[in-house]
Amino acid sequence: MVLQAFSAPGKALLAGGYLVLDPEYNSYVTALSSRMHCVFDSHPSENELKSIVSILSPQFAYGKWVYEVGSNSDSKDRIDSVDVHQIEGPSNPFVESVIRVITAYVGGSDIQKFGDDILITIFLDPEYHTRDGAQAQTSSNGKRQFLYHQEDITSVPKTGLGSSAGLVTVLTAALAQIYIKKSDIDIPLDLIHNLAQIAHCYAQGKIGSGFDVAAAVYGSIKYRRFDPELIADVIDGAKSVAETANREWNFGHQVVLLPPRVRLVMGDIKGGSNTPKLVSLVLNWKNSKPSESDVVYEKLNNANELLIASLQALNALHEENPELYDEMMDYFSQLTQLQTHWYLGFNDNLKERYLAMLGLISAIRSIRSQMRTMTRLSAASIEPIPQTFLLNQLAAQVPGCIGGVVPGAGGYDAVALLVVTSKEASGPLALPLEPEVEHRVSMLQLREEAQGLKPEDVKNYTGLL
């Protein structure tokens, strides 16, 4: 097989934290220019009933995991039933889980026998981890630069872009290409998605909302989760991997891009939060105070829906009336302190003209306000007071900032801003931050890159393999 490569994006959940755990609600997740990459190759192995699968992650110490995969069991279709033995390296539940899921899928549907030795090399873009002490290396054509860390993957602090979801997605795509692909027919993206969701949940030992895997596969989307029972049935062995992965999952993944000239800016916060702990506090509150939490959930859902609808309206306006769109964006790109002052100078006529943008601004304000209410009522630090100050300061200091949120589970992980740029802006934005703010947040070198899983040119990795 010839050398091939895939990449998948990192994520920022701009709307829908906590609510996305319930299939009733829509969320909005943006795919990022920081991506996970894999380069892979396979050769016929000496033993046609066994594969040696080697995964290398050269950016981290001890980044080599080798598995022997056999097919001598009778019922190969359940998640745990193919013989997968680790023969080298520390444990990496995500890598192992993808191998188990794909081989069980192949065993179950009898598409192709094992018998290839496989080598997969993983790379991830710099912004997934803190840069401290890392050395950069560049591919020989100069197109890719990655950071090489001294420590192992579990010891380098993360920025929260969803590295495990990206890893599981590119590995699933690579192994599916080797084990499942027949002739020239591409593997359906929905199959990659379903297999990756199963593998991610199995590795984590819990069934999350899956927005991170969905963004890694489909890119920037309005997301509504699948029924968690689908995966529960595979994990407890009631259903085969193939039976579940081949089904229609009935989940939402409609592509919604950030509108032109609306730039995502993300900052990493010194500190960090424990997402499972925050989730458990919120769910406890939801269960113990149903009438109180229903009101907050409903308001938050309305704000999330308004955000999504406003993004769609802005995209539509740009298509239909680019002059009006640019006039509006020119206006907003120069303002600061939109959080408090945007509405003051508007007469009804202006409000009508700029309706879609005002919808977006008010959606962000309302999301934040409901997140603060949830913080108070559930005792989960979703938008704690220091983050409130920081988001307000950023909105006041960054020209064109139409608002910011604590993405995902919130807490002390990150902030995400939406900033209207000038028509000419193409490179990184200059953010005139005061030193006190600059000290508290490090701006990440990324932006929206809406495309999900995609093939890459293997030449971009030459010199790094």
Ligand X SMILES: C[C@@](O)(CCOP(=O)(O)O)CC(=O)O
Ligand Y SMILES: Nc1ncnc2c1ncn2[C@@H]1O[C@H](COP(=O)(O)OP(=O)(O)OP(=O)(O)O)[C@@H](O)[C@H]1O
Question: Is residue 434 within 8 Å of residue 397, measured between CB atoms?
Answer: yes
Beta bridge partners of 146: 137
From the list ligand Y, ligand X, none, pick the one residue 17 interacts with, judged by a Cβ distance below 5 to 8 Å according to partner type. ligand X
Q: Is 163 in the site for ligand Y (CB under 6 A)?
A: yes
Specify the pairing of strand 27-44 against strand 221-224.
Answer: antiparallel
> Judged by CB, which is closer to ligand X: 21, or 338?
21
Residues 6+ apart with CB under 8 A from 177: 4, 40, 187
* Closest CB 31 distance from ligand Y, rounded Å: 13
From the list ligand Y, ligand X, none, pick the one residue 153 interacts with, judged by a Cβ distance below 5 to 8 Å according to partner type. ligand Y
DSSP state of 226: P
Question: Is residue 56 within 8 Å of residue 461, measured between CB atoms?
Answer: no
Q: Is 207 in the site for ligand Y (CB under 6 A)?
A: no
Both structure tokens of 137: 């290396």
Q: Is 47 in the site for ligand Y (CB under 6 A)?
A: no
* Closest CB 438 distance from ligand Y, rounded Å: 24
Measured at the CA of 342, the angle between CA 340 and CA 345, to 5 degrees, comes to 120
Q: How far is CA 274 from CA 160, 208, 315, 374, in A?
A: 11, 14, 35, 17
* Closest CB 309 distance from ligand X, rounded Å: 21
Task: Determine the interface stretch with ligand Y among 66-74, 111-119, 150-158, 366-374 (rule: CB under 6 A).
Answer: 150-158
Task: Identify the CA nearest to 447 among candidates 260, 312, 211, 306.
Answer: 260
* Closest CB 231 distance from ligand Y, rounded Å: 16
From the list ligand X, ligand Y, none, pick the one residue 124 interacts with, judged by a Cβ distance below 5 to 8 Å according to partner type. ligand Y
From the list ligand Y, ligand X, none, pick the one residue 20 interacts with, judged by a Cβ distance below 5 to 8 Å according to partner type. ligand X
Dist. CA 200–CA 207, nearest whole Å: 8
* Closest CB 21 distance from ligand Y, rounded Å: 14
Question: Which residue of the chain is nearest ligand X when measured via CB?
Answer: 408
Dist. CA 302–CA 315, nearest whole Å: 20
Beta bridge partners of 419: 263, 401
Q: Can you give the length of the chain in residues?
A: 465
Dist. CA 250–CA 238, nearest whole Å: 20
* Closest CB 415 distance from ligand X, rounded Å: 12
* Closest CB 82 distance from ligand Y, rounded Å: 21
Q: Is 175 in the site for ligand Y (CB under 6 A)?
A: no
Among 81, 164, 304, 339, binds ligand Y (CB under 6 A): 164
Q: Is 460 in the site for ligand Y (CB under 6 A)?
A: no
Q: Is 415 in the site for ligand Y (CB under 6 A)?
A: no
Task: Determine the interface stretch with ligand Y among 66-74, 162-170, 309-317, 375-383 (rule: CB under 6 A).
Answer: 162-170
- Determine the distance from the C-alpha atom of residue 322 to the mean position of all C-alpha atoms in its chain, rounded to a whole number: 30
> Judged by CB, which is closer to ligand Y: 162, or 403?
162
* Closest CB 400 distance from ligand Y, rounded Å: 27
Task: Determine the interface stretch with ligand Y among 152-160, 239-247, 251-259, 297-305 (rule: CB under 6 A).
Answer: 152-160
Q: How far is CA 265 from CA 247, 360, 416, 421, in A?
A: 37, 16, 6, 11
From the list ligand X, ligand Y, none, pick the one residue 214 interacts with, judged by a Cβ distance below 5 to 8 Å according to partner type. none
From the list ligand X, ligand Y, none, pick the one residue 33 interacts with, judged by a Cβ distance below 5 to 8 Å according to partner type. none
Q: Is 215 in the site for ligand Y (CB under 6 A)?
A: no
Element counts in the chain: helices (H) and strands (E): 14, 15
> Judged by CB, which is closer to ligand Y: 56, or 357?
56
Question: How many binding residues for ligand Y (CB under 6 A)?
Answer: 16
Beta bridge partners of 437: none
> Judged by CB, which is closer to ligand Y: 165, or 390?
165
Looking at this protein, which amino acid is placed at residue 309? A
In the range 83-122, which residues lie near ligand Y by CB under 6 A? Answer: 92, 94, 122
Q: Is 181 in the site for ligand Y (CB under 6 A)?
A: no
Q: In what order do the strands lie in the sheet with 414-420?
A: 401-405, 414-420, 262-269, 441-443
Residues 6+ apart with CB under 8 A from 254: 221, 222
Dist. CA 215–CA 450, nearest whole Å: 9
Both structure tokens of 150: 């001294």
> Judged by CB, which is closer to ligand X: 20, or 364?
20
Residues of this chain that bind ligand X (CB under 6 A): 13, 17-18, 20-21, 160, 208-209, 211, 275, 279, 408-409
Q: Is 165 in the site for ligand Y (CB under 6 A)?
A: yes
| Residues at the site binding ligand Y, with contacts judged by CB under 6 A | 57, 92, 94, 122, 124, 153-154, 158, 160-165, 167, 212
